């Protein structure tokens, strides 16, 4: 591949990632897809409808991801979620911190971007505070503390942290086939569970479950197939174009908020180029904006009180620190990570759910107090 072709493919890949992220934003705005909202509905009303949306999305994403692997379109081992090292304490504590923060901030990272597109100025504040906290956890003072504490607690799984690798090792099956079988069983069970919900089978709910799951699969294809070059024209090394991690990327939103701020601040620095993280953040906001304008639901929104402001800022800090520590958010670990059937992702999601419940308990206490 010539260098000019390489650069053109990079641009094409980033445009494709932007389009997929815009679809995510549009669907999330249209269907009110929200992990925090799903937990809130269960805790406050006993309603599992939005959690079934989330479960179907995970199931569809898992089946699609491993179908791509079985077809040879992507290498399912080339993501940050399936490595041999299981940083379980980072995933658990980071996840809990993120889950707690998303309740205080009225939504996770993806919901924050969707709400910005819908006209929420307080979500814009959450975005900047969360991005700053994420940057501090990636490279700043919180990164030093993170590396010296929770990241030191881990165990190694030689075959990798994904369930299909264990099945392939135990049965001797081809890795691609093992992945597809596991995804059909586990992901199919989630899809079936969602469809069995009495009130779930509506157009909006199916759009959320099937649409969001398909978007995650599409992003894996864009990064792992369209954007994969076996030999860089200059270094001759394999490269994933536009990747922030150096590996195959999918949708995630905590670290990308930091990348956006870094790109904006150092825009004149030629070394600061557009990446998956930057274009997907922009795509989600613009996709949600388009949907809000079409529906007529766009509304400017500000903080209701000083307490409301303080809670959102604290929540944003918790999400920024927790999301980076856990290697992902409710989308990064909860959808993209779980689609790989990774043990680390399952631990992170468990932490997020525990943190969210604690966050709701705090909110209830504050309401009763006054």
- Adjacent-strand bridge partners of 301: 120
Q: What are phi and psi of 228, to 5 degrees?
A: -95, 125
Element (H, E) at 156: strand 155-156
Q: How many whole angstroms from its chain centre is CA 253?
A: 6
Identify the sign of the CA torsion 334, 339, 345, 347: positive
Q: Are 318 and 60 in contact (CB under 8 A)?
A: no
pLDDT of residue 123: 97
Per-residue pLDDT of the chain (370 residues; tens, 9 = 90+): 788 999 999 999 999 999 999 999 999 999 999 988 899 899 888 899 999 999 999 999 999 999 999 999 999 999 999 989 999 999 999 999 999 999 999 999 999 999 999 999 999 999 999 999 999 999 999 999 999 999 999 999 988 899 999 999 999 999 999 999 999 999 999 999 999 998 899 999 999 999 999 999 999 999 999 999 999 988 889 999 999 888 999 999 999 999 999 999 999 988 888 999 999 999 999 999 999 999 999 999 999 999 999 999 999 999 999 999 999 999 999 999 999 999 999 999 999 999 999 999 999 898 888 6
Q: What is the pLDDT of residue 198?
A: 84
Give pLDDT, residue 270: 84
Burial class (CB in 10 A: 0-12, 13-18, 19+), 215: buried
User: Is the sign of the CA dihedral 279, 32, 249, 148 positive or negative?
Assistant: positive
Q: Which tokens is 37 given? A: 């909202």
Distance of alpha carbon 186 from alpha carbon 324, whole angstroms: 27
Report DSSP state, residue 301.
Answer: B
pLDDT tens string 26-47:
999 999 999 888 998 998 888 9
Two tokens, residue 71 = 């077809």
The rounded distance, in Å, linking the Cα atoms of 246 and 225 is: 14
Please provide the average confidence, as pLDDT, over all residues in the chain.
95
Q: Quick one: which of 205, 209, 224, 207 has its CA closest to 65?
A: 224
Tokens found for residue 234:
């200059």
- Give every CB contact of residue 349 below 8 A, 6+ residues apart in sequence: 95, 330, 333, 334, 337, 338
Q: How far apart are the first and last CA of the chain?
A: 66
Query: Are 348 and 337 contacting, i.e. CB atoms less than 8 angstroms apart?
Result: yes
Per the CB < 8 A criterion, the answer to whether 137 and 146 are in contact is: yes
CA distance 127 to 259: 12
Residue 173 has a pLDDT of 93
| Predicted local distance difference test score (pLDDT) of residue 272 | 85
Give the pLDDT confidence score for residue 199 in this predicted structure. Answer: 87
């Amino acid at each position: 591949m010539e260098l000019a072709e390489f650069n053109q493919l990079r641009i094409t890949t980033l445009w494709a990632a932007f389009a997929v992220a815009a679809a995510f934003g549009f669907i999330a705005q249209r269907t009110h897809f929200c992990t925090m909202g799903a937990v809130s509905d269960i805790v406050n009303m006993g309603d599992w409808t939005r959690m079934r949306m989330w479960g179907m999305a995970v199931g569809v994403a898992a089946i699609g991801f491993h179908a791509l692997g079985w077809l040879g379109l992507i290498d399912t081992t080339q993501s940050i979620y399936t490595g041999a090292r299981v940083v379980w304490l980072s995933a658990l504590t980071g996840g809990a911190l993120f889950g707690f923060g998303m309740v205080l901030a009225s939504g996770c990272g993806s919901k924050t971007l969707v709400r910005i597109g819908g006209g929420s100025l307080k979500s814009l504040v959450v975005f900047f505070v969360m991005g700053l906290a994420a940057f501090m956890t990636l490279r700043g003072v919180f990164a030093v503390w993170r590396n010296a504490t929770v990241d030191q607690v881990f165990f190694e799984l030689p075959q990798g942290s994904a369930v299909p690798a264990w099945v392939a090792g135990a049965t001797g099956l081809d890795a691609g086939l093992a992945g597809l079988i596991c995804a059909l069983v586990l992901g199919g069970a989630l899809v079936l569970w969602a469809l069995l919900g009495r009130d779930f089978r509506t157009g909006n709910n199916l759009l959320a479950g099937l649409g969001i799951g398909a978007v995650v699969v599409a992003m894996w294809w864009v990064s792992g197939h369209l954007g994969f070059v076996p030999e860089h024209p200059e270094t001759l090394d394999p490269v994933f174009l536009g990747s922030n991690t150096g590996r195959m990327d999918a949708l995630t939103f905590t670290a990308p908020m930091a990348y956006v701020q870094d790109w904006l601040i150092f825009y004149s620095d030629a070394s600061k180029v557009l990446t998956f993280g930057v274009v997907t953040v922009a795509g989600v906001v613009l996709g949600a904006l388009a949907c809000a304008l079409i529906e007529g639901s766009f509304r400017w929104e500000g903080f209701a009180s000083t307490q409301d402001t303080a809670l959102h800022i604290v929540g944003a800090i918790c999400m920024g620190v927790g999301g980076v520590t856990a290697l992902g958010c409710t989308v990064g670990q909860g959808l993209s990570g779980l689609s790989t059937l990774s043990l680390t992702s399952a631990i992170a999601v468990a932490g997020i759910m525990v943190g969210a419940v604690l966050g709701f308990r705090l909110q209830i206490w504050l309401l009763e107090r006054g």
